[in-house]
Amino acid sequence: MSKADGLFVNMCREILDHGFSTEGQEVRARWEDGSPAYTIKTFGVVNRYDLQDEFPALTLRPTAIKSAVDEMLWIWQKKSNNIKDLKSRIWDEWADENGSIGKAYGYQLGVNYRFKQGEMDQVDNVIWQLKNTPQSRRIMTNIYNFSDLMEMGLEPCAYSMTFNVTGNKLNAILNQRSQDILAANNWNVVQYSVLVHMLAQVCGFEPGQLVHVIADAHIYDKHIPIIEELIERPQYPAPKFRLNPDIKDFYDFTTDDLVIENYQKNPQIKNIPIAI
C-alpha cells in the first residue's frame, strides 16, 4: 500500500483527535458566504517521503499531478506571477485585473542577487551550487521577502526549500507556514517531489528524501466530514513515476515529460469549499 496514504491518514487523525479548534476566535479566512472559516489545527507537522521508495501521490483520492507540476513550473521555471501563464484557475482569487498576483512566488525566484559565482536568481543559484559545490550546506531558496509582503496578492505558504546532497542522493526540506490539508497537502507534496526528481536528473544525482515541514497544519470545519470519509477509503500501491531521461536542462522540462503509470485511485471528491 502507498506509504503516502499512511502518512496522510495518521496526520489527519492526529489533527482531528488532538488538534486545537479555532472556533469562536477571530480568524482571517472566510467562506464564500462571508462566514468565518474555523479550523482544527496542529502545530509543527513533519512528514518524510523517500522518493527512492515510491512516488508519494495519494491513492485515497486522485491528485492532478500534471496540473500540480504546471503550477510548480510556473513558479520555479517561468518565474511568473501572472495567472495568464498558468493553465489552472487556482490563483484567480488573488490576481488583479491584469492577472498579476504581485511580488509573490515566481516573482521572488526571478529576482537577481549577487553571489560569489556571479549575479543570478535563486533557482539558477541552486542549480549552479548542485553542479559545482554539491557538499555546500547553503543550497536554499526563500521567497518570504518581508520588504515585498505588502505588494503580494497572498503571502507565500510554501516559502523555502533547502537542498542537501548525501552521497549520490539529492534531498530537500520544504518549509510551509500554513496548509489547508484537504485542498493542498498532497498537491504540494507531489509538486516538490517532482522538483527534486527534476533537479536530481539535470544535476547528476538520484532523488533522495523530501521532508515536508508544516507550521500550521489545519483542517477547515467544512472539510471535517470529507476528511473523515476520505481516511476510511481503501488504499492502493503508489503509482510509478519517471521523467523523460533526455532532458538535461531544468528549463526544458514540460508536463509532457512526466510519465505516471499504474495510478490506481479512489474517486475524486468534487466541489470542495475553499476558504479565502
Annotation: binding site: 137-138, 177-180, 188, 218-220, 275
Cell of 79: 518565474
117, 119, 6: which is closest to 59 by C-alpha? 6
> CB of 204 within 8 A of CB of 249?
no
Q: In which element (H, E) is residue 228 found?
A: helix 224-230
The CA distance from 29 to 151, in Å, is 19
The CA distance from 80 to 91, in Å, is 12
56, 12, 9: which is closest to 263 by C-alpha? 56
Cα 206–Cα 47–Cα 193 angle in degrees, nearest 5? 35
Calculated CA dihedral for residues 4, 2, 69, 146, nearest 10 degrees: 0
Beta strands 169-180 and 20-21, pairing class = unpaired
Count of C-beta atoms within a 10 Å radius of residue 237: 14
Kindly list the distances between the CA atom of residue 215 and the CA atoms of 148, 177, 202, in Å, as whole numbers in the listed order.
22, 5, 31
142, 243, 148: which is closest to 196 by C-alpha? 243
| Phi, psi (rounded to 5 degrees) for 50 | -90, 105
260, 267, 199, 204: which is closest to 233 by C-alpha? 267
Per-residue pLDDT of the chain (276 residues; tens, 9 = 90+): 899 999 999 999 999 999 999 999 999 999 999 999 999 999 999 999 999 999 999 999 999 999 999 999 999 999 999 999 999 989 998 899 999 999 999 999 999 999 999 999 999 999 999 999 999 999 999 999 999 999 999 999 999 999 999 999 999 999 999 999 999 999 999 999 999 999 999 999 999 999 999 999 999 999 999 999 999 999 999 999 999 999 999 999 999 999 999 999 999 999 999 998
pLDDT value at position 60? 98
> CB of 174 within 8 A of CB of 212?
yes
Q: Which residues carry out catalysis? A: 157
Annotation: binding site for dUMP: 137-138, 177-180, 188, 218-220
| The pTM of the whole model exceeds 0.95 | yes
pLDDT value at position 156? 97
Kindly list the distances between the CA atom of residue 274 and the CA atoms of 34, 36, 156, 164, in Å, as whole numbers in the listed order.
12, 12, 17, 35
Q: What's the longest Cα–Cα distance across the chain?
A: 55
pLDDT value at position 85? 96
Domains detected in the chain: 3-261 (3.30.572.10)
Beta strands 169-180 and 113-115, pairing class = unpaired
- The distance in angstroms from the start CA to the end CA of the chain is 34
pLDDT value at position 269? 94
Which ranges of 171-230 does DSSP label H, i.e. alpha helix? 181-203, 224-230
pLDDT digits (tens, 9 = 90+) for 206-238: 999 999 999 999 999 999 999 999 999 999 999
